[in-house]
Amino acid sequence: MRIRSFEDYEKAYKESVEDPESFWGEVAQEFVWKKPWKKVLEWDFNNYDVKWFKGGKMNITENCLDRHAHNKPNQPAIIWEPNDPAEESITLTYKVLFDRVCSFANVLKKNGVVKGDIVCIYMPMIPELTIAVLACARIGAIHSVVFGGFSAQSIADRINDSQCKMVITTDGAVRGAKHVPMKDTVDDALIGCPSVKKVIVATHTRTPVSMIKGRDAWWEHEVKLVSADCPAEEMDSEDPLFILYTSGSTGKPKGVVHTCGGYMIYSTYTFQNVFQYDPGDVFFCTADVGWITGHSYIIYGPLASGAQSLMFEGVPTYPDAGRFWDIIDKHKVNIFYTAPTAIRSLMGFGDEYFKEKDLSSLKVLGSVGEPINEEAWHWYNDNIGKGKCPIVDTWWQTETGGIMISPLAGITKTKPSFATLPLPGIQPMLVDEHGVEIEGNGVNGNLVIKFPWPSIIRTTWGDHERCKTTYFSTYPGLYFTGDGCQRDEDGYYKITGRVDDVINVSGHRIGTAEVENALNMHTGVVESAVVGYPHDIKGQGIYAYIICEETPEDPEMTKRDILMTVTRVIGPIAKPDKILFVSGLPKTRSGKIMRRILRKIAEGDVKNLGDISTLLDPTVVEEIVKGAGY
């Protein structure tokens, strides 16, 4: 499965397109199966249904743990770096991780979790998070990790959507100098979640928390009561492995479902080939496990490869803006994978934070989550990679499960801000708004994928129709990514950003409708419209136009109150960067908000508002432009 040269890549790509079943069938041979599959692929993009490795039986944890715990028990699996650099880092070897996962899997069983149950995990970036995830997979429970920055309301929505039976959390968390109450937030969430019968609380900050008799139990206490022997549940290749909620263009986040076999194969295949991981390398992905990047490239891809995966609890600017570089120096990191927003923010702090650090262990740099602008690319390349580390700009999505378009480190010639070429098995296509293919090079269009890959989304939890309409109905027979894309003269792909109502803030997807719902919950708010605008550090910022019942007496205070409401309803990541109170919104005669105009104003491009004559009331535009300060 390993690609070593550009010739290998071309050969693999060709095979994967000409005969996908034998291509992926061969890759899948390198994994541990309990029973072989009967058919590699069955698919239908019109009435959406995909099955990879039908009839195959396996357990992803046997691939991530058992075989490595047996072959190289003392090799580090997880290297954990705490928030506070004065604290000791922790290394879990494959043997230790294996034992701890099996014990905790028994804790889950003892507390009534059975195969097919859904377990919500709301935890900071500590080893117990990885253990909890793998323990679920061990017994066939479906994990639903909720990012530790989400509010109680967001947790409750996600728990209720999938009827989680258990929540795993910690007493508290630390992020930089901030203490975050985790259990308290879970307690608030659970007021409205009757499906949850048990809460397991890992001790971390030892902040006082309430523990409800019969419902809440301490992790440390529970593991003492069980053995470390837990055979892996036999899973069908197409049984769900996890649900991960992500924002779309409608109000409610959707639960993206990935299944066991295909996801395992694709996350591992891409991990090894994109980053060119060699045994012994230390791999540091800075994402949170609450996002897909953490699922695929902190936990599953690296561990199935027997790699050393570094997990960092803290933030890039604590205790100072040199923290990432300190970690690279301290743990001799070979491969570093982060987001453009982090690069742009660290660029701003000046050279002294990386100048004295020894970054010579680095071989490969990665980028993910949003387009990387050329300035950030060059800064990363020159200062961190010292001009000798290939940068892999990896384009993919929660729904794709693994990296789709990306250079292979040191193999594919890179070009700043280009994700370059599709990986083997990925058949991208550009279409115009009518779904007509745009052929040739030097073109722009909407990015679709015309053939399934092993870790393609299987469904949206509890609502398969929604999956069909979101991804397979805009252009019938094709998977629609929601992204705009350029294919240049060399056939290289450059992702230009979302073409739907999704804003990418610091690499986090936020639906405009979700933010609007939260804004509209604030007392006195009549209506709101949210758009993205270019932001120096975050990539995109959130600009909110708000109509209030009455003109706020103290607009600054009202804005602060509104931000608090958004924090409560969604979480701090969805807080608008700018709020403008307006008396009306530009609407068409049929009542649709003309976001195009609001976007232009937010961008400051007020000279090119385009045709506004079709608006119900064109004068509101004038007022908004003035209000925005032009």
Binding residues vs ligand 6R9 (CB under 6 A) = 246, 291-293, 367-371, 393-398, 419, 481-483, 495, 498, 504, 507, 509
Give the CA radius of gyration of the chain: 24
- Residue 586: is the preceding peptide bond cis (ω within 30°)? no
Q: Minimum Å distance from CB 479 to ligand 6R9? A: 12
C-beta closer to ligand 6R9: residue 122 or 245: 245
C-beta closer to ligand 6R9: residue 138 or 458: 458
Q: Minimum Å distance from CB 483 to ligand 6R9? A: 5
Strands (DSSP E) contained in 226-376 are: 235-236, 240-246, 254-259, 282-285, 308-312, 335-338, 364-368
Eight-class DSSP state of 251: S
Q: Minimum Å distance from CB 495 to ligand 6R9? A: 4
- CB count within 10 Å of CB 387 equals 8
C-beta closer to ligand 6R9: residue 140 or 532: 532
C-beta closer to ligand 6R9: residue 397 or 469: 397
Question: Which residue, among 58, 60, 68, 124, has the nearest Cα to 308 in the 3D structure?
Answer: 68
Q: Minimum Å distance from CB 19 to ligand 6R9? A: 28
C-beta closer to ligand 6R9: residue 294 or 425: 294
DSSP code per residue over 148-213: TTS-HHHHHHHHHHHT-SEEEEESEEEETTEEEESHHHHHHHHTT-TT--EEEEE-SS-------T
Residue 613: partners with Cβ closer than 8 Å, 6 or more residues away: none
C-beta closer to ligand 6R9: residue 93 or 293: 293
C-beta closer to ligand 6R9: residue 106 or 446: 446
C-beta closer to ligand 6R9: residue 104 or 245: 245
Q: Minimum Å distance from CB 575 to ligand 6R9? A: 18
Task: Quote the tokens at residue 422.
Answer: 């599709």
Helix axis angle, 152-162 relative to 555-569, nearest 10°? Answer: 30
Residue 463: partners with Cβ closer than 8 Å, 6 or more residues away: 254
Q: Minimum Å distance from CB 582 to ligand 6R9? A: 28
Q: Minimum Å distance from CB 79 to ligand 6R9? A: 23
Q: Minimum Å distance from CB 471 to ligand 6R9? A: 12
C-beta closer to ligand 6R9: residue 381 or 398: 398
CB 418 within 8 A of CB 488: yes
Task: Report d(CA 603, CA 534) in Å as an integer.
Answer: 7
Q: Minimum Å distance from CB 464 to ligand 6R9? A: 20
Strands (DSSP E) contained in 398-464 are: 428-431, 443-449, 459-460
